[in-house]
């Protein structure tokens, strides 16, 4: 009985310390509360992807989400930064870890010179502090103007030659992924001061 009590005390102490670690060290906004507000206020803009490559164009954003038994759990987004030839602004497509490793920067697939309809926050779009290479306007949903954008991903199936089979899928984020991208951005990536000004 004494051993059981000691084990329970030990587990309880670990749980309490883990909760305290999350309380003090995890910094996040109440993004889930404002997802629908952000999406409903977003506007659709027509842009054209400039094909010129520059250093840092394909990047990622990492952020600390929470701890489990004192192990840090991180989130990540694959980012593609480009200049818009129509408005001369810089944009950043952000796709968060919804598809795990299957997609691998899909937003960089065949987008050179493509005309896109993108959904953006008008407050960021009209703010001169946004739209630069250093602070591009984030994009969480986009689609082709003249055609459906497609990409290929590898499946777990193998063909007769023993190689994994690729399948063609739509490149543009689904509504479910759009919702998830916005949630992750508002909760973990948007600076706290900007979040307060935007929603408080």
Indicate the pTM of the whole model: 0.78
Does 116 map to a domain?
yes
Q: Are 141 and 172 in contact (CB under 8 A)?
A: yes
Residue 156 lies in a domain: no
Q: Domain total for the chain?
A: 1
In a domain, 79, yes or no: yes
User: Does residue 51 fall inside a structural domain?
Assistant: yes
| DSSP run (H or E) holding 45 | strand 43-48
Is residue 60 one of the residues assigned to a domain? yes
Domain span at 112:
28-146+175-199
Q: Is residue 85 part of a domain?
A: yes
Sheet holding 71-83, edge to edge: 58-68, 71-83, 90-96, 137-139
- Only one residue has tokens 């818009």, namely 84
Name the pLDDT band for 19 (thresholds 50, 70, 90): very low
Q: What is the pLDDT of residues 104-145, one digit of tens each?
A: 445 556 688 999 999 999 999 999 999 999 999 999 999 999
Could you tell me how many helices (H) and strands (E) the chain has, helices first?
A: 5, 9
In-domain check, residue 58: yes
Question: Cβ contacts of residue 79 below 8 Å, gap of 6+?
Answer: 58, 59, 60, 61, 92, 93, 94, 107
Question: Which two structure tokens, joined as six digits, stand for 72?
Answer: 């840090």
Does any domain span residue 88?
yes
71 or 176, which is more confident? 176
């Amino acid at each position: 009985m004494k051993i059981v009590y000691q084990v329970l005390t030990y587990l309880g102490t670990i749980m309490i310390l883990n909760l305290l670690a999350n309380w003090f060290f995890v910094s996040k906004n109440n993004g889930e509360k404002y997802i629908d507000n952000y999406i409903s206020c977003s506007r659709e803009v027509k842009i054209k992807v400039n094909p010129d490559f520059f250093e840092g164009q394909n990047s990622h954003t990492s952020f600390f989400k929470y701890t489990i038994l004192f192990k840090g759990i991180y989130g990540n987004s694959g980012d593609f930064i480009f200049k818009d030839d129509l408005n001369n602004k810089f944009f950043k497509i952000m796709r968060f870890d919804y598809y795990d490793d299957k997609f691998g920067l899909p937003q960089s697939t065949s987008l050179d010179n493509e005309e896109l309809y993108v959904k953006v926050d008008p407050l960021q779009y009209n703010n001169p502090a946004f739209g630069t290479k250093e602070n591009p306007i984030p994009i969480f949903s986009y689609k082709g103007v003249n055609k459906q954008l497609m990409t290929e991903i590898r499946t777990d199936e193998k063909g007769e030659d023993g190689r994994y089979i690729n399948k063609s899928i739509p490149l543009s984020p689904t509504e479910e992924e759009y919702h998830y991208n916005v949630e992750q951005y508002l909760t973990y990536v948007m600076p706290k001061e900007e979040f307060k000004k935007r929603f408080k």
